[in-house]
Amino acid sequence: MKQDFVFWHMLNSLVVTHEYRIIHISPDHKEVWLEGLGNKQAPIIRVYRYDLDWSTWLQRDMEKTAFQVANFRKQLRKSKLSAVNIYVSTYPPVDDWEFRLQEPLEKNKATVNSVVVHEGNLEHSCNRISNLIGKEVKVEVENEDEEALHHLKQIVLDASARAIKKEKELFQFGKPLFTYLFIAVQVIAFFILEMNGGSQNTETLIQYGAKFNPLILEGEWWRFFTPIFLHIGVLHLMLNTLALFYLGTAVERIYGNIRFLFVYLFAGFAGSLASFVFTPSISAGASGAIFGCFGALLFVGIAYPKVFLRTMGMNILVLIGVNLTIGFAIPGIDNAGHIGGLIGGFLAAAIVHLPKHIKPLPRILGLLLAGALTFYMLDYGYNNENPYTQISQAESLLQKGEYDQAYDMLIPLEEQKNEYPEVLFYLSFIDIKKGRINDAESRLVDVTALQPDFHEAHYNLALVYLEMKKTEKALVSIERAIEIEPDGANYENIRSEIIQSLDSE
């Protein structure tokens, strides 16, 4: 009876006081596995109520436990894992046994320290367990009747049940509504684009609200939001729809409908704003808002670090890392928009916070930081000293045919051509319009060297070579443009024209 009290007092200390979570309990309630990933010293604890006899059995059971901990390590995707294995026995084994516990067992990067608690070493073993897990474990046995034991057992089981219920409530606060609405909107928008010139047609994208810096600078602020629902090509749509289906539903269940709506739209806005400030190219897509969902899940890790680490933490961190790495490795991906969306989603989650949380400080800090960043980014984006703003303004002037003004605006930036290769492209366009073919050739050669996947530059270079009667070079350039962008407008027509010119020579 006394050791039964020791067993449940120990579980009470671990579960109620130190908030370990019961992940397995045997039908007879004699073996309990606990998880506390927030405790790096001992994330896994096993407590086993068993009256030991021979130390050979103890050795076999310790090895079996080490094998189970190694399996936990694989499931948790950890490089290594430590565990404490506790036996609560009336008496120690009858033969020599202490040498078996002197060193921890190691198996497949899993380390298991075992402790035998018996009537003769209760204080000493509790001190050892406390040292192993880095937290004080108290066992105070006073009243040893059946009723008291049942009450103690019920306290532990109820605390575990409440923790599990609270965790389930965290992930099931709301039902997805806006996620499905946004999926429907972006699919409908895609078909509208396809029926009106194509989702990969630049003019169509601009007409229907893609992020286009020159028009934003002219006052079309709504282009910070409309790109969230537009996609460039069917693959882009499919990938973002799939990501939104999985991430959006998870975030909406955690935060609820209205909070999710704010998080998603603010993250999309933040992604468009970052893209506006740091990239002059046309862009569209839900990627910034989807990265905002990542940011909202990261905020869960701040509010509930233990639950986050145990459930989704490592997967979310890996996914963010992989997506950002792909963004930096593959040309044409708007990483500024991704990072802006990630930060925006995190700050938006801080502002609305999780349901049933009334702590005002995180909300105030999130609101102040989000407001300050938004103001700074808007001010910098609309500031004429921002090179990307100057490039966008020059692009707007080019569309109006004001070549001299555009040239004067761009020429000071030519010294920074390594950082802003598009400056060379626009200057070469002005050169072509002004009849300076040699200058255009030189600048286009430079820009294709600096940015090899700039298909429009290869196309323009082909036109310049054709004008200069350098037909073979023109063919090489147009074929490179087609290789990069097979669906490029007029690319095949120019190629055919160049081939005909070669055949006639």
- Residues with active-site annotation: 287, 338
Angle, helix 471-484 to helix 455-467, in steps of 10 degrees: 160
Q: For tokens 């010139």, name the residue.
A: 197
Q: Which amino acid is at 293?
A: C
Q: Which two tokens stand for residue 100?
A: 């078996």
**Helix/strand number for the chain, H first, E second:** 22, 6
Between CA 497 and CA 493 the distance in angstroms is 6
Tokens of residue 14, six digits: 């671990």
Task: Give the total residue count for the chain.
Answer: 505
Query: Are β-strands 31-35 and 44-49 bridged in parallel, bridged antiparallel, or unpaired?
Result: antiparallel
Tokens at 203, concatenated: 């003019």
Angstrom distances, CA of residue 399 to CA of 211, 396, 402: 16, 5, 8
Q: For the CA atoms of 30, 33, 34, 40, what is the dihedral angle to 10 degrees?
A: 130
Q: Give the angle subtended at the CA of 272 by the CAs of 385 and 287, to the nearest 5°.
A: 140
Is the dihedral angle over the CA atoms 49, 53, 59, 60 positive or is it negative?
Answer: negative
Can you read off the two tokens belonging to residue 349? 């989650």
Under 8 Å CB-to-CB from 261, ≥6 apart: which residues? 178
Q: How far is residue 422 from each of residues 80, 293, 428, 483, measured CA to CA in Å? A: 48, 32, 10, 20
- To the nearest 5 percent, what fractions of the chain are helix, strand and coil? 65, 5, 25
Which sign does the torsion angle of CA 417, 422, 423, 427 carry?
positive
State the sign of the Cα–Cα–Cα–Cα dihedral 160, 161, 162, 164: positive
Q: Where are the alpha helices (H) located in 244-359, listed in sequence order? A: 249-255, 257-278, 287-303, 305-311, 313-329, 335-352
User: What single string gives the DSSP state of each residue in 415-435?
Assistant: GGTTT-THHHHHHHHHHHHTT
